[in-house]
């Protein structure tokens, strides 16, 4: 390769690197602008509906969501529905895994998980309690060893759902009407501590029309818990 060809080749590589760098910067700028516009749209929605929009809020439920990232709440909207204080938030955390290849080189992979968290406040305080779907390991344990200490006594509910409580007997707070609502798939998995009741699901807060459908089923749980039904 003669000198002129070498200079041309190096110049082409440098030009390509500059183009790639400029393209990457443009993508980052575009992503930031779209995110800013998305949050601005939520601010407008909150103002129109008498709600409050808060970026990076401090919340009390962070140890009850996956990842438990205290800096993971991107923004929250709080207001009133069904006569009680309620809210929704977008939460995310990042998992990082490092693997070593056959050549001894390490590769790091990161994956961000995003959730929508819905929360409502009860009119009275309750002990720590949670209801979630039984996973495969839990179902196997129940099949091998029988019902656990927090079984409700409803065979179908106890097969599909698991109650978590601080002490045996507190599962009685999950009354027959709430058991029936779970079996009818009318309410989501949930947890309560004190007066704060939450649920979460994968996804982002993108559609304002979904706010009501996110909060309403959890409000049903709140009503049934308060009524002891």
**pLDDT tens string 1-50:** 556 555 555 556 566 666 556 554 544 444 567 788 999 999 999 999 99
Q: 43 burial class (0-12, 13-18, 19+ CB within 10 angstroms)?
A: middle
pLDDT score for 143: 46
0.75 cut: is pTM over it?
Answer: yes
Tell which residue, 96, 132, 117, has the closest CA to residue 204.
Answer: 117
β-strand 106-133 against 84-100: which pairing, if any? Answer: antiparallel
Q: Which residues of the chain have pLDDT under 70?
A: 1-32, 99, 101-104, 136-148
Task: Give the distance, in angstroms, between the CA of residue 145 and the centroid of all CA atoms in the same chain.
Answer: 32
Tell which residue, 94, 58, 50, has the closest CA to residue 76.
Answer: 58
pLDDT score for 16: 61
């Amino acid at each position: 390769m003669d000198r002129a060809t070498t200079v041309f080749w190096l110049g082409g590589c440098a030009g390509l690197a500059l183009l790639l760098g400029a393209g990457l910067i443009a993508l980052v700028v575009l992503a930031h602008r779209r995110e800013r516009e998305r949050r601005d749209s939520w601010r407008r929605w909150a103002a129109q509906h008498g709600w409050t929009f808060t970026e990076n809020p401090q919340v009390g439920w962070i140890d009850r969501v996956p990842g438990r990232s205290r800096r993971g709440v991107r923004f929250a909207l709080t207001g009133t529905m069904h006569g009680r204080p309620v809210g929704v938030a977008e939460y995310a955390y990042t998992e990082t895994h490092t693997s070593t290849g056959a050549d001894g080189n390490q590769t790091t992979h990161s994956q961000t998980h995003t959730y929508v968290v819905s929360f409502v406040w009860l009119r009275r305080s309750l002990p720590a309690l949670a209801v979630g779907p039984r996973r495969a390991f839990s179902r196997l344990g129940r099949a091998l060893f029988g019902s656990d200490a927090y079984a409700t006594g409803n065979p179908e509910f106890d097969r599909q759902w698991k109650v978590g409580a601080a002490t045996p007997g507190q599962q009685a707070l999950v009354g027959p009407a709430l058991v029936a609502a779970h079996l009818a798939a009318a309410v989501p998995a949930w947890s309560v501590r004190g007066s704060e009741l939450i649920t979460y699901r994968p996804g982002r807060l993108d559609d304002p029309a979904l706010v009501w459908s996110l909060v309403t089923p959890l409000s049903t749980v709140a009503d049934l818990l308060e009524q002891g039904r």
